[in-house]
Amino acid sequence: MAEGLLAAALPDAQVSSAGLGALLGEPADPIARELMQQRGIPIDNHRARQIALDQCQRADLILVMDGKQRRAIEERYVFAAGKVFRLCEFSDQDVPDPYRAGRSSFERSLALIEDGAQQWVKRISRVSSR
């Protein structure tokens, strides 16, 4: 959901998502697809993949959902320290994983994701317009 929102808001940026425990090749959850479709952002083509060394090396910014993910990436890819942040860094919140937790959990997580994405879009837009 975060990838879809960020890619839609930053069409000139390369945005991709990957997970630490992704179910390789699986599509986005049907609830996530429905919620994003309601926002006019289809994510039907999304397929889960694991984060990899080359992605971290190429990335200018790595956004994660929670502090545990941030620590795991910084431990696995020490060079990435300084470019790994939580999506909701500016509101000091973690985004809970809604997987298998029902629609209301997806809606709560998406509300946090939307807020975090908006904050990053503002920040990225300011930096890239300089």
Instruction: Determine the structural domain holding residue 46 and report its residue range.
Output: 2-125
Distance CA 13, CA 114 (A): 17
Q: Is 70 within the bounds of a domain?
A: yes
Q: Is 28 within the bounds of a domain?
A: yes
Q: Is 26 within the bounds of a domain?
A: yes
Q: Which residue's structure tokens are 């545990």?
A: 68
What is the structure's pLDDT at 128? 76
Amino acid at 105: S
Question: What total number of domains does the chain contain?
Answer: 1
- Residue 84's φ and ψ, nearest 5 degrees, are -110, 125
Q: Is 65 within the bounds of a domain?
A: yes
Where residue 97 sits, what CATH number does that domain have? 3.40.50.2300
Q: Is 50 within the bounds of a domain?
A: yes
Q: Is 56 within the bounds of a domain?
A: yes
Direct distance between the N- and C-terminal alpha carbons of the chain, in angstroms, rounded to an integer: 28
3-state secondary structure of 86: strand
Does residue 81 contact residue 51 with C-beta atoms inside 8 Å? no
- In this prediction, the residues of the chain whose per-residue pLDDT falls under 70 are 129-130
Amino acid at 3: E
Which pLDDT tens digit goes with each residue over 58-73?
Answer: 999 999 999 999 999 9
